[in-house]
Structure 1
């Protein structure tokens, strides 16, 4: 496969962009694939190579790269009327009403410009609402590039996970292992009176996809109620992807106090949002005293794209289609691994999927969840399936990145840069695409 133009562009980029990229996860080995355009479920790179795309913009492209006519028309109309105004527009009210109507926990919404900005604002809101400082997060969870959550270690020894963050910031963050009820109970027993909130992804989405063990989120809900803390669901990845229009909170049956959104809410354009109970959201300025503002918040083009994308998903068979394809893909991968790599684990739900190169000491996939790990205690592989971010980190990440991903690229299948990022099916994918993908996985494992 000729990739000379991508190589040359990367060479140029290294002179003007730090690391040659504008987001660190794009820095694949030996150099990134520079994309020229999207085409349905595919992307075409600058050298003319065509790939089945399972990155899907890291999630927002629920409908694929070719937007339905109603979405295209709404975007073009909004753009033609003016780039932006610095004033409210009707479409942002329409989109807020749609979100409030469909997501169980949401009574009000504040739109922002990214998932990171949404979680930053949600943390500030939780601290302002409760008058407390500490924040419980999950080890291996990801909530954007913000000081309060770029923290590693454990609850008694938190430390910044990157340079540039003062240790004094990290002291207010309490990392605990995902799915570990005993650990989070202990943290509340020690620090409960100063915990403003628990910030958690309904499933770990930047760590190989780790689903919650049954009852884990209920435990978080109960602890927050007992201690007067806020439960914050980060649905930047899962929102309007997992659980359909009700999002992951509807699928898992747990109602948070606050929810952060991104990705699909803007139909592929930059967006973020914070939703939740009205009494909490009204603490934002100008109705309250928790400052939050942004010149581009509620951008009319983004609002129009998000509204029409979600309307299309509500009116058509989008979720039935993408979830069925996701299930077919995961079940096929379970079969491939049973024959060739029984120690590895298929993960995901709805329209998400991944193969984590786990080091499970398991002789066969007999008894494994048929469509990917569902954290069933009666499953023969229950103890071997990832429960925490550390479990995914201990998998064969180098083999995934340096051997598997490049092989799949050569097979015409584009995957995210590393083993930790979620992979997505879109409305543009077909059953034939799924079979082609399974053939590519089979080819890797059979050599």
Structure 2
């Protein structure tokens, strides 16, 4: 496989960009990332003309794939040709806001921003402003963007910045606890409950190998936060409009948070973020409230049009049936392949998300008959239950180096592009086909 052009481009990039990239995860590919020239349905073509089945989908935003349906493409082109931006509101902002409010259970009002990071930054600020409290509880290893309040490691007793450039005094207001650990969460509230503004969590840990909540965990968080006057924030930047369809993951779990952050799919492949929730809380944003938030590019007309047309197309066509059906087929078949070739590994995911986590231990190969068949659901009667990841630490303890240094390259050599490390999700799009699934499954058989 020729990669001369990608190598040359990376050499140039190293001279003018730190690490040769504009987002750190892109450099996880070794010895250097391939540079993409274009996308086509469920595929990407790199600078050397190599064609790959793409299960990364821009790290999640591309629900419809790389080849946009005509009405979506036409709306984007129309807005772009009418002028880049205006510094004043446009009708399409209202249209998209109304669409989201109609479909997402927790959202009565919404504020659009420019990235998932900006959404979580603003949600944390809003929660603090609304409650008059300082501390935010997060899940250990969970990712909520490149922001000071959540780039924190350690535990609730010893939080510390996970990045240089963040003062320890910032980290002291963030309390990390393990996902799925009710006892640890109770202890944190017993000690700090009067100063906890919010619990911030993904409904599914989707940036750490895809970890499902145990049954009742989100209901527990909902009750505990309400009892202490804290807010429950669901970070649906990844799961929003992908898990649970137009109602998002919160509708699938039947738990309504106070605030929800969005990104990725809601912008149809263009830069976007949003914060939605109860009107009385969202109205805390300036100019109606005293929590300042603003952005030159917020509500950008091209992004708003792309997001609205993407979601309307999904609502009016068989998009979710298609992507969820392929996702289930992938996970079912991967479960069979893993049981035969690598029985300690764990297949995870739901709807149009999937992953194989290289867990180090598992049940005996002959005891897998009653296992979860289409992705781990934390079912206590599953023979994998005592071995499947319950939190981010469990995923981190998997064979992450083997996944990245050996397995990823073996899949690429078979023209299958997977996410750049063990932790990132993989996504099915409307552009993928049955043939893409079959080729990918054959590649897994060979690579595992």
**Cα distance in 1 between the residues matched to 2:50 and 2:58:** 18
Residue 430 (structure 1) aligns with: 433
Residue 18 (structure 1) aligns with: 18
| Per-residue deviation, 1:4 | 1.1
Give the 5 Å matches for 1:178-257: 178-257=179-258
Q: Secondary structure at the match of 2:154?
A: strand
Give the 5 Å matches for 1:249-328: 249-328=250-329
**Cα distance in 2 between the residues matched to 1:202 and 1:239:** 10
Asked if 1:377 corresponds to 2:380, the answer is: yes
Contact 2:363/2:383 (<8 A) preserved: no
| Per-residue deviation, 1:3 | 0.8
Residue 369 (structure 2) aligns with: 366
Contact 2:350/2:375 (<8 A) preserved: yes
Residue 445 (structure 2) aligns with: 442
Contact 2:198/2:232 (<8 A) preserved: yes
Residue 339 (structure 1) aligns with: 340
Give the 5 Å matches for 1:123-162: 123-162=124-163
| Per-residue deviation, 1:416 | 1.1
| Superposed CA offset, 1:95-146 (max 9, x none) | 0000000000000000000000000000000000000000000001100000
**Cα distance in 2 between the residues matched to 1:361 and 1:35:** 38
Moved more, 224-233 or 429-438: 429-438
Residue 77 (structure 1) aligns with: 78
**Cα distance in 2 between the residues matched to 1:22 and 1:367:** 45
**Cα distance in 1 between the residues matched to 2:207 and 2:362:** 24
Q: Normalising to structure 2: TM-score of the pair?
A: 0.99
Q: Secondary structure at the match of 2:364?
A: coil
| Per-residue deviation, 1:29 | 0.5
| Per-residue deviation, 1:361 | 3.7
**Cα distance in 1 between the residues matched to 2:4 and 2:392:** 36
**Cα distance in 1 between the residues matched to 2:371 and 2:31:** 35
Moved more, 136-145 or 367-376: 367-376
**Cα distance in 1 between the residues matched to 2:183 and 2:369:** 30
| Superposed CA offset, 1:395-414 (max 9, x none) | 00000000000110010000
Segments of 4+ in structure 1 off by > 3 A?
none
**Cα distance in 2 between the residues matched to 1:367 and 1:419:** 26
Residue 401 (structure 1) aligns with: 404
Moved more, 309-318 or 425-434: 425-434
| Per-residue deviation, 1:89 | 0.2
**Cα distance in 2 between the residues matched to 1:173 and 1:144:** 14
| Per-residue deviation, 1:311 | 0.1
Q: Secondary structure at the match of 1:44?
A: strand
RMSD: 0.6
Residue 94 (structure 1) aligns with: 95
Q: Secondary structure at the match of 2:112?
A: strand
**Cα distance in 1 between the residues matched to 2:255 and 2:394:** 25
| Per-residue deviation, 1:367 | 2.3
**Cα distance in 1 between the residues matched to 2:364 and 2:165:** 45
Residue 7 (structure 2) aligns with: 7
> How many aligned residue pairs are there?
445
Contact 1:367/1:381 (<8 A) preserved: no
5+ residue gaps, structure 2, are: none
Q: Secondary structure at the match of 1:52?
A: strand
Contact 1:197/1:232 (<8 A) preserved: yes
Contact 1:326/1:349 (<8 A) preserved: yes
| Per-residue deviation, 1:263 | 0.3
| Per-residue deviation, 1:355 | 0.3
**Cα distance in 2 between the residues matched to 1:272 and 1:443:** 39
Q: Secondary structure at the match of 2:136?
A: strand
Q: Secondary structure at the match of 1:293?
A: coil
**Cα distance in 1 between the residues matched to 2:319 and 2:95:** 21
| Superposed CA offset, 1:153-200 (max 9, x none) | 000100000110000000000000000011101100110000000000
Residue 32 (structure 1) aligns with: 33
Moved more, 363-372 or 231-240: 363-372
Contact 2:345/2:362 (<8 A) preserved: no
| Per-residue deviation, 1:366 | 3.1
Q: Secondary structure at the match of 1:248?
A: helix
**Cα distance in 1 between the residues matched to 2:209 and 2:339:** 19
**Cα distance in 2 between the residues matched to 1:157 and 1:84:** 45
Residue 413 (structure 2) aligns with: 410
